[in-house]
Amino acid sequence: MNQIEAVKSLLKKELMMEEPEVEVFLALLKVEKSTSMEIINFTNKSNTEIVEISKRLESKGMVIEVNKDEFRALHPRFATVNRYRKICVFNNVEFKKNLKIDQLAVLIEKYQDSD
């Protein structure tokens, strides 16, 4: 399994993300701050779908809406920990350091920095 496939798999498994969320989140990481129209070039999603997915990612603590339909992914470590914290709260589990989550954040950072 290559690096991107490993990251996608771990995002789905560890952070309970759906495939479209993973796709948009990773696209946002690559372009940093972008309008939904610009993200279309990195996904197979329509403008409406991208906005909807980005707003779901915002509610999960991974993305912020900078302006109307302009989104930015949080730094991989912040995004990963925010999402993990929300999962812990939802499952009524104590939030504490999790090495798998920390390692996932590092993998996502490497993905973001890669060409």
Q: What is the pLDDT of residue 56?
A: 95
CATH of the domain at 73: 1.10.10.10
Question: What is the total count of domains within the chain?
Answer: 1
Q: What is the pLDDT of residue 108?
A: 93
Euclidean distance between CA atoms 60 and 86, whole angstroms? 7
Euclidean distance between CA atoms 22 and 57, whole angstroms? 9
What is the 8-class DSSP label of residue 34? E
For residues 78-104, average pLDDT? 94
Amino acid at 96: K
> 């929300």: which residue's tokens?
86
Specify the higher pLDDT residue, 67 or 89.
89
Q: What is the pLDDT of residue 46?
A: 85
Structural domain range at position 62: 3-113
pTM for this entry: 0.89
Q: Which residues contact 18 (CB under 8 A, 6 or more apart)?
A: 12
pLDDT digits (tens, 9 = 90+) for 7-60: 999 999 999 999 999 999 999 988 866 666 677 777 888 888 988 999 999 999
